[in-house]
């Protein structure tokens, strides 16, 4: 059966090399109409190989061309040699499969209140609701069914996907992508005990998202009690991430799916928090820290430290602990056997 394919351009390898950079080994005239994984690529498709495992079996792929590290050699395949094969392949995908852009303009089905400031070449889809005193920059795309509260600002070249909610006074920077279903600026979880009930603490701060951030689908980013919840430049979040009030997420940090961050946490630059990890409130994760999957972090983590487990421990120590835990049934049997032998020895001596 023929592969299902997205509609793509047809380009020569020489043209692709011109667009993404790199050196061709082989026939630059080969025409490529798609891209595919290493194992399934066909003769009119391009793929990439960057690790030793794939490079060792490069002659097995049927791809018309392979993107490889610039120092790789030793095959008769047509190659595009680059500094970073994965990034180059991502750029090729953008070239071969250009996204369909919605038309510029404001759809008549959008509802826009007073004092709306709009840049040039903006696309606002049907059923979008924009409240008072919102400012939107140039080349912004707002997909259908987005709600934008009063006094929100959105920078240039930002894209907001369907069913996103951005609540009052939040600030969104340039080149930000916010995926479907995300809520930005919901109230932080603040309640004061009052006898047997709880009195809600007003959340009067904002959320600020700096430039070049990408927010996954169905994230929730709470506004601060005072001041701001701050997502700094270059942060990338996966789907289903929860960020509580007054959290600061440092530049170029990665938050993987189902991460939960409690209030007033400070996260440094280039931190990686793996899937389903939970971070307790009022602690600091310093620059370069790595938090393993399903880790429960209850105290601050030092710069460049790798931790895992619950509560968090140095990763290598946690691996040793998990190895011992897996042996507990056998260790229990051994202890019981030793106890019986000890009883027998004591009985003989008594």
Burial 285-294 (b: 16+ CB within 10 A, else e): bbebbbbbee
pLDDT of residue 7: 60
Dist CA 177 CA 230 (whole Å): 16
Query: Domain holding 20: CATH number?
Result: 3.40.1390.10
Dist CA 306 CA 269 (whole Å): 14
Angle, in degrees to the nearest 10, between helices 315-326 and 328-349: 60
Question: Both 74 and 123 in a single domain?
Answer: no
Q: Is the dihedral of CA 332, 334, 336, 338 positive or negative?
A: negative
pLDDT in tens, 117-161: 999 999 999 999 999 999 999 999 999 999 999 999 999 999 999
Q: Name the CA dihedral angle for 144, 148, 153, 155, rounded to a multiple of 10 degrees.
A: -20
pTM above threshold 0.85: yes
Question: Both 303 and 194 in a single domain?
Answer: yes
pLDDT in tens, 63-106: 999 999 999 987 889 999 999 999 999 999 999 999 889 999 99
Please provide residue 290's backbone torsions phi and psi, each rounded to the nearest 5 degrees: -125, 125
Question: Both 153 and 257 in a single domain?
Answer: yes
Dist CA 320 CA 49 (whole Å): 34
pLDDT in tens, 235-277: 999 999 999 999 999 999 999 999 999 999 999 999 999 999 9
Provide CB contacts within 8 A for 239, sequence distance 6+: 179, 216, 217, 218, 219, 257
Range 175-198 average pLDDT? 98
DSSP 3-state of 304: coil
Number of domains in the chain: 3
Rg (CA), the chain: 27
Evaluate if residue 1 carries a pLDDT over 60.
no
Band (pLDDT 50/70/90 cuts) for residue 350 is confident
Question: Both 60 and 190 in a single domain?
Answer: no
Catalytic residues, which ones? Answer: 245
Q: Which residues form the domain of 341?
A: 321-349
């Amino acid at each position: 059966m023929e592969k299902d394919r997205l509609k793509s351009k047809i380009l020569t390898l020489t043209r692709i090399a011109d667009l993404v950079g790199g050196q061709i080994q082989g026939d630059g005239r080969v025409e490529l109409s798609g891209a595919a994984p290493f194992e399934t690529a066909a003769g009119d498709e391009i793929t990439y190989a960057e690790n030793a495992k794939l490079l060792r079996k490069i002659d097995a792929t049927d791809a018309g061309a392979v993107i490889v590290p610039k120092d790789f050699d030793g095959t008769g395949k047509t190659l595009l040699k680059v500094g970073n094969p994965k990034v180059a392949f991502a750029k090729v995908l953008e070239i071969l499969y250009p996204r369909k852009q919605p038309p510029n303009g404001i759809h008549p089905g959008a509802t826009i209140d007073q004092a709306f400031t709009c840049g040039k070449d903006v696309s606002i889809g049907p059923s979008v609701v924009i409240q008072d005193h919102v400012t939107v920059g140039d080349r912004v795309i707002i997909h259908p069914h987005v709600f934008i509260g009063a006094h929100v600002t959105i920078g240039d070249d930002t894209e907001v996907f369907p069913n996103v909610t951005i609540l009052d006074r939040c600030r969104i920077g340039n080149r930000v992508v916010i995926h479907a279903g995300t809520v930005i600026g919901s109230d932080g979880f603040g309640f004061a005990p009052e006898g047997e009930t709880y009195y809600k603490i007003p959340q009067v701060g904002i959320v600020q998202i700096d430039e070049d951030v990408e927010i996954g689908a169905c994230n929730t980013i709470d506004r601060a009690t005072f001041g701001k919840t701050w997502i700094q430049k270059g942060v990338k979040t996966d789907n289903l991430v929860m960020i509580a009030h007054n959290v600061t997420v440092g530049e170029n940090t990665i938050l993987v799916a189902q991460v939960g961050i409690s209030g007033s946490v400070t996260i440094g630059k280039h931190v990686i928090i793996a899937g389903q990890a939970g971070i307790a409130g009022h602690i600091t994760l310093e620059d370069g820290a790595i938090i393993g999957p399903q880790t429960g972090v209850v105290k601050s983590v030092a710069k460049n430290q790798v931790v895992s487990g619950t509560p968090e421990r140095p990763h290598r120590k946690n691996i040793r602990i998990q190895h011992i835990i897996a042996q507990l049934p056998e260790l229990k049997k051994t202890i019981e056997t030793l106890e019986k032998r000890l009883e027998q020895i004591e009985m003989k001596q008594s």
